[in-house]
Structure 1
Amino acid sequence: MAGVEGERWVGLAMDFSEGSRAALRWAAANLLRAGDQLLLLHVLKEPDYEQSEAILWESTGSPLIPLSEFSDLTIAKKYGAKPDAETLDLLNTVAKEKEVMVVVKVLWGDPREKLCQAINDIPMSCLVIGSRGLGKLKRVLLGSVSDYVVNNATCPVTVVKSASSNG
């Protein structure tokens, strides 16, 4: 995928929080260029077997879902995802203005491990991830997805702090 000359795959960890929206805004302003492929990686800790197709895709993650399909909330729900209108609007605007193709991959499991696995499975040029802005003590106790990914990813990783983050 990413090996095709001229084709850049930019990964974006997306949990539909303010931190991940800040990462999206940063990527749009500083990184994305026309012709890029923007891959949203949405990791759910536990699959909901009753309301999703997670049972089919639990080990490999969902197939790549075009943003136009993922914007249909009934399709997003099939994968257990709950995107908010603000993020979907922002994604559609970025796709149109930056002339990038946006696709979504839903994964199930530990976000740290799944993000690193996705980087290896779909060779990316880079990954952008938001930060929750945990203080040092909370980061030690809870662990930090961004710290883990920065130290274990096989591609460059940019961590974006949202303006509302403290610490």
Structure 2
Amino acid sequence: MAQEERRILVAVDEGEESLHALSWCLENLVLQNSKDTLILLYVKPPRVVYSTFDGTGYLFSSDITAAMERYGQEVADVVLEKAKKLCNNIEKVETRVENGDPRDVICEMVQKLGADVLVMGSHGYGLIKRAFLGSVSNHCAQNAKCPVLIVKKPKPAIGNQ
């Protein structure tokens, strides 16, 4: 039986949860010697738009704005480099950095990149926190145009904390 190429999109961020989801994906979803393409997606938060004055009368210089942008790119580079190291046995690995609200961007990239499955971690926020912060994984599970696999990081056993 000929094996089809799958496009597996994995959303990664600074949290341990996303790297756990990637590790789980590599162990359980990506087949050895397959034609699968693994796409690692990092979404930088929306760029903050500042007026000339920030409301307190202080002036933001273009140097500060540029430094914040550089820092955001450095964070993205570090996260993707860490994720790529986990994928050292995978032949086809692509990386993407996008800007915007992760909930919307991840769903858009699923369609744009033709993903067959979306894999993401879950921070495991409770009902109250999720109501205020919004759950990226819940939003994507409801709105992505492909199957969504949400991988929860196991909680440590009582004696191992």
TM-score grouping bracket, smaller chain normalisation = 0.7 to 0.9
- Per the TM alignment, residue 154 of structure 1 is displaced from its structure 2 partner at its CA by 0.4
Aligned residue in 2 for 1:22: 20
Preserved contact between residue 19 and residue 130 of structure 1 (Cα < 8 Å)? yes
Counterparts of residues 1-167 of structure 1 (less than 5 Å):
6-33=4-31, 34-47=34-47, 50=66, 80-83=73-76, 88-89=81-82, 91-94=84-87, 96-97=88-89, 99-164=90-155
Aligned length: 136
Q: Distance in 2 between matches of 1:41 and 1:86?
A: 10
Percent identity between matched residues is 32
Higher Rg of the two aligned structures: 2
Where structure 2 has 5 or more consecutive residues not aligned to the other structure, the ranges are: 49-64, 157-161
- Per the TM alignment, residue 142 of structure 1 is displaced from its structure 2 partner at its CA by 1.2
- Per the TM alignment, residue 157 of structure 1 is displaced from its structure 2 partner at its CA by 0.3
Q: Distance in 2 between matches of 1:26 and 1:119?
A: 20
Give the superposed CA RMSD: 2.8
Q: Distance in 2 between matches of 1:143 and 1:92?
A: 30
Q: Distance in 2 between matches of 1:110 and 1:87?
A: 18
Structure 2 CA distance for partners of 1:133 and 1:93, relative to 1, 3 Å: closer
Structure 2 CA distance for partners of 1:89 and 1:139, relative to 1, 3 Å: closer
Where structure 1 has 5 or more consecutive residues not aligned to the other structure, the ranges are: 55-76
Aligned partner of residue 66 in structure 2, secondary structure: coil
Aligned residue in 2 for 1:73: none
Matched AA of 1:50: A
Q: Which segment drifts farther, 122-131 or 42-51?
A: 42-51
Structure 2 CA distance for partners of 1:86 and 1:106, relative to 1, 3 Å: closer
Aligned partner of residue 128 in structure 1, secondary structure: strand
Q: Distance in 1 between matches of 2:101 and 2:79?
A: 26
**TM-score, length-scaled by structure 2:** 0.72
**TM-score, length-scaled by structure 1:** 0.70
Dislocated runs of 4+, deviation >3 Å: 83-90
Preserved contact between residue 13 and residue 79 of structure 2 (Cα < 8 Å)? no
The C-alpha deviation readout for 1:125-164, integer Å capped at 9, x for no partner, is 1000111110111111211000000000100000111124
Structure 2 CA distance for partners of 1:163 and 1:87, relative to 1, 3 Å: farther
Preserved contact between residue 131 and residue 146 of structure 1 (Cα < 8 Å)? yes
